[in-house]
Every structure is written in C-alpha cells, then in structure tokens.
Amino acid sequence: MRDAGHRLELHRQPELLGDGWLVEGQPFWDAAQLSWFITPNVPSIMNALNEAKNNRGVSQQAVTFAKQYDADLVYEKYWKPALKEIAAWCRSSQS
C-alpha cells in the first residue's frame, strides 16, 4: 500500500485500496445526510497519478486484488443468490 501523504481515517476504507495510492483530502459535512465525507485534494490526486505513471509495470498484488471483482465471480457469489431470493419472494407474494 502506498501513501501519497498523511492518511485520513475518515472513510478511507484501506481494504479497497489494493496496491494503489492513498490521497489527501479534507473533511466536508453533508448536512442532508448528517454525515462527514472526504473531498479529495486535487494536487494530491495529481501527485499520485504522476507516481503511478512513473512506476509503470504490472503489480501482481494489484492483479490478485482485482480478481475478487471479476464479473463472473461477483455474479456467482453475490448476484445469483440475491436474484434467486428475490425471485422466490416475488413468487411467494403473488399467491
């Protein structure tokens, strides 16, 4: 995991980073949702993109991480059971 600045603990979800770069941001209060979120810092994004460009090559860590989001895997593991449950609910609510 690479760090393009200090880490923001608010909503950073490092489990979704894989082999990418963390960027800086600033907290922003969303009054409609009564919740904080992070607005990414544009210069920090540019720095991370430049670092990614300068460190080209295939990262086996990134490839391994991305495999969990393979469309067929996601369909079989998540969508198929959910659709089966929805179909059963629809059939039961028709009677």
For residue 62, report the phi and psi dihedrals to the nearest 5 degrees: -65, -40
51/88 same-domain check: no
50/82 same-domain check: no
Structural domain containing residue 85: 68-95
Task: Quote the CA–CA distance of 4 and 22 in Å, as a whole number.
Answer: 5
Three-state DSSP at 32 gives: coil
Residue 88: the pLDDT is: 95
16/51 same-domain check: yes
Residue 6: the pLDDT is: 40
The two structure tokens encoding residue 95 = 């009677």
Task: Please name the residue ranges forming H helices in the chain.
Answer: 42-54, 60-66, 71-74, 80-94
Chain segment 49-91, per-residue pLDDT in tens: 998 888 878 889 889 999 999 999 999 999 999 999 999 999 9
Residue 8: the pLDDT is: 43
* Domain membership flag for residue 63: no
Task: Quote the CA–CA distance of 22 and 78 in Å, as a whole number.
Answer: 28
46/25 same-domain check: yes
